[in-house]
Amino acid sequence: MDFKDSIAKLIAKETGQKVNEIVSKLEVPPKGMGDFAFPSFTLAKAQKKAPNAISNDLAAKISADFIEKVEAKGPYVNFFLSKSSLSESVLKSIFDGKFIKKTEKGSVMLEYSGPNTNKPLHVGHLRNSSLGMAFSNLLEVVGLKVIRANIINDRGVHIMKSMLAYQKFGEGKTPKSEGKKSDHFVGDMYVLYAQKVAKNPELEEEAKAMLAKWEAGDKEIIALWKKMNKWAIDGMKETYDLFGSEFEEWFYESENFKLKAGHKIIEEGLAKGVFQKEDNGAIAAVLEPEIKNKILLRGDGTALYATNDLGVTQNRFDNFKLDKCIWVVASEQDFYFKQLFAIFEKLGRKWADKCQHLSYGMVNLTSGKMKSREGTVVDADDLIEEIKQLALAEIEKRYENLSEKEKNKRALAISLGAIKFFLLKNDAKKEILFDPKASLAFEGETGPYLQYAYARANSILRKAKAEKKKYKQKNFDLLKENKEKELIIELQKFSDAVAKSYEQLSLHPIAHSLLSIAEKFNSFYHEVNVLKSDSQELLNARLSLVEATMIVMKKGLSILDIVAIEEM
RNA sequence: GGGCCUGUAGCCUAGUGGAUAGGGCGACUGCCUUCUAAGCAGUAGAUCGGGAGUUCGAAUCUCCUCAGGCCCGCCA
């Protein structure tokens, strides 16, 4: 039952206003003042009456079996829902599995991660991955079919730099010989290049020359490139596995480079008069003055990143039947994506408005911006390991007797929960100032707090089973304690949070909804001893509430790609 | 020079037109022989960057201004 809608209908009947207009005006009042509120200011002019009078009038006239009471408070009409109908309605929809509205259909490609093969993943990539993974899950929950895509940036002069350093100073070492994770080994070469080039600027030219050889298909360079790329990608895949990142499609810049699909689009744009040739032969897309023109091909005819991107995007819509394509890329590319989408609009692509940029703020350190070549990054593997050790220490404090295997499993789940939740709980577009020591805790507004609430709920059901208590999902209408009602209301709000997250391209509404649910659950847990309920009927009702809480929390956590831990 | 984003207690943050600005960290008080204390209950802490305007009503909308970040045709 949609209470908001039902209340709006009652108000509409009395006032003659349209139902959907009333719905948009209904709000949730501050604590203790009811479940819904209608502000009467909005009718004052039309009815030529004082808001307070309208409120009094409405409060006196409106009644229904699902409403406990209606109160006029100044210019507001406050509605208190009947606890039993609220409980029935909310818990039923949760057990029916219909508590999230599937509002969308079709298929969508979501690109995220997009690493370079000259360095390992860092905490910035983890923010990208967390958003990519979670938003993909969210898209599926609202009804879309999702193709997760990764594009490996495996070509370009920056890739040559780590190759050059290895060729000149690597002394034939390998990740194996050094006992090093292979992507870290490649990353070390990139740092080494940066150190060497500072003293020997001519390396810069050598790297460019190497790129020319690569483009010409020089056998030796291609062999080196393949070897080092494999190291980089194999290492990253380990990190993806550890973190839980999954992809259905892998694209490679190098392959795309060979296709030259972008060049065809450039021909097309010139023919249509949408692109123009500059004095030195470069090709530019002519765009609105606010977003400037965009160079798509160098004067010497060589390709730019944008050249490739034109082809990549076209191929995606050609080869996959997409209703939408989403790029998860940091906010420094906001302007670029505006231009890219505008170019497709100019070219008359009917899918141009189906391109979406999920922009997010950069992760900076308290010490400043992260720079791989200077080695001032928080490495993804190191971070996960460090937090895992902290989680392990917490587990060992509590449970000495667990097997090593179980301890490790829990520690990983908890540490990833802490990291992912930290990266998702705030508005995606805000920057994160990351302090590894201070940022990741297991208490307060954290992933482990949610996991803990879930584990506690689970433990009630487990104990009930162990004590051979009978339990059926029923008697929902007996849930009349304030703590119970507050929890149920938070459960009900979860679906709104899902919708909000989808609209706002950010996971924080879901994250905060889960925090509120966990908070209300913990409070309920503290106040009401479920297993010591007075009657079988009440036990049924409360166990139902506990189970419903677990269902919603598990759904929410799974969207955020966080493991709901059974025991913690 | 221009564009986009951000500014809410010591720190982090939610809230995009409505009532007393909601959380967390940190600080301080209590609560484990009672379903897991990674928890609960409470206290203190806020000129919502500043100014003007629109409105019955502004953290929220408009304009100006200050501060930080990112970006602005041949980098990826």
Write down the H helix ranges in A142-218: 157-169, 175-178, 182-199, 203-216
User: What ipTM was estimated for this complex?
Assistant: 0.96
Chain A residues 75 to 134 with C-beta below 7 Å from nucleic strand B? 75-76, 78, 116
Give the model's pLDDT for residue A88. 93
In angstroms, rounded to a whole number, what is the distance separating the alpha carbons of residues A490 and A553? 11
Averaged pLDDT, A388-405: 92
A301 Rama class: left (phi>0) / alpha (psi -120 to 50) / beta = left
Tell me which residue of A500, A487, A497 sits closest to A548, measured CA to CA.
Answer: A487
A441 touches strand B (CB under 7 A): yes
Flag whether pLDDT at A452 surpasses 80. yes
Res A47: pLDDT: 82
Question: pLDDT of A439-449, one tens digit each?
Answer: 788 999 999 99
The kind and range of the H/E element at A45 are: helix A41-47
Residue-wise pLDDT tens digits, A147-169:
999 999 999 889 999 999 999 99
Q: Which of residues 263-302 of A touch strand B (CB under 7 A)?
A: 278-280, 282, 284, 290, 292-295, 298-300
Beta-bridge partner residues of A276: A284
Q: Name the nt closest to A530 by C-alpha to C1'.
A: B35
Residues 299-328 of chain A sitting with CB below 7 angstroms of strand B: 299-300, 304-306
Tell me the pLDDT tens digit for each residue of A225-236: 999 999 999 999
A69 contact partners, CB below 8 Å, separation of at least 6: A80
| Closest listed residue to residue A218, CA positions, set A394, A226, A78 | A226
Q: Give pLDDT, residue A436.
A: 76
Model confidence over A118-137: pLDDT tens digits?
999 999 999 999 999 999 99
Q: Tell me the pLDDT tens digit for each residue of A488-500.
A: 999 999 999 999 9
The reply to whether A234 has its C-beta less than 7 Å from any atom of strand B is no
Asked if A529 contacts A484 with a C-beta cutoff of 8 angstroms, the reply is: no
* Residue A557: half-sphere exposure toward Cβ, Cα within 13 Å: 29
Q: Is the CB of A157 under 7 A from strand B?
A: yes
For the segment A396-418, the average pLDDT, to the nearest whole number, is 94
Q: Please tell me the distance from the alpha carbon of residue A395 to that of residue A286, in angstroms, as a whole number.
A: 60
Which residues 210 to 229 of A reach strand B, CB within 7 A? Answer: none
**Residue A15, pLDDT score:** 87
Q: Judge whether residue A341 has pLDDT over 90.
A: yes
Element of type H or E holding A329 = strand A324-330
Q: Spell out which residues of A between 459 and 518 contact strand B, using CB within 7 Å.
A: 459-460, 463, 508-509, 512, 515, 518
Mean pLDDT of A532-555: 96
pLDDT at A463 (0 to 100): 95
- A333 beta carbon to strand B: under 7 Å: yes
pLDDT band (50, 70, 90) for residue A370? confident
First to last CA, chain A: 35
Average pLDDT, chain A: 93
- Domains in chain A and their CATH numbers? 3-81 (3.30.1360.70), 108-178+222-372 (3.40.50.620), 380-559 (1.10.730.10)
Chain B positions with any atom < 7 A from a protein CB: 2-6, 12-15, 18-20, 22-26, 34-41, 56-57, 69-76
Kindly determine whether the C-beta of residue A558 is less than 7 Å away from any atom of nucleic acid strand B: no
Q: What Å distances lie between residue A120 and A112, A165, A253, CA to CA?
A: 16, 16, 17
Counting Cβ atoms within 10 Å, is residue A65 exposed (0-12), middle (13-18) or buried (19+)? Answer: exposed
Residue A396: pLDDT band (50, 70, 90) is: very high
Q: Which residue is nearest to nucleotide B31 (CA to C1')?
A: A526
Q: How far is the CA of A116 from the C1' of B75 (A)?
A: 14
* pLDDT tens-digit series, residues A44-90: 877 888 889 999 999 999 999 999 999 998 899 999 999 999 999 99
Say if CB A488 and CB A91 are below 8 A apart: yes
H or E element in which residue A419 lies: helix A404-424
**Residue closest to B7, CA→C1'?**
A430
Please report the DSSP string for A206-240 in residue order.
Answer: HHHHHHHHHHHT-HHHHHHHHHHHHHHHHHHHHHH
Query: Can you read off the two tokens belonging to residue A206?
Result: 């050598």
Residue closest to B68 C1′ by Cα: A431
Say which nucleotide is closest to residue A253, CA to C1' distance.
Answer: B76
A296/B3 CA-to-C1' distance in Å: 21
**C1' of B39 to CA of A449 (Å):** 9
Q: Tell me, rounded to whole angstroms, the distance of Cα A191 from its chain centroid.
A: 31
The nt closest to A442 (CA vs C1′) is: B38
Residue with smallest Cα–C1' gap to B39: A522
Tell me the nt nearest to A279, Cα to C1'.
B74
**pLDDT > 90 fraction of chain A, expressed in percent and rounded:** 80
Position A486 pLDDT exceeds 90:
yes
- Token reading at A93: 């929809």
Which nucleotide is the nearest neighbour of A298, by CA and C1'?
A: B74
Q: What's the Å distance between residue A36 CA and nucleotide B34 C1'?
A: 37
Residue count of chain A: 568
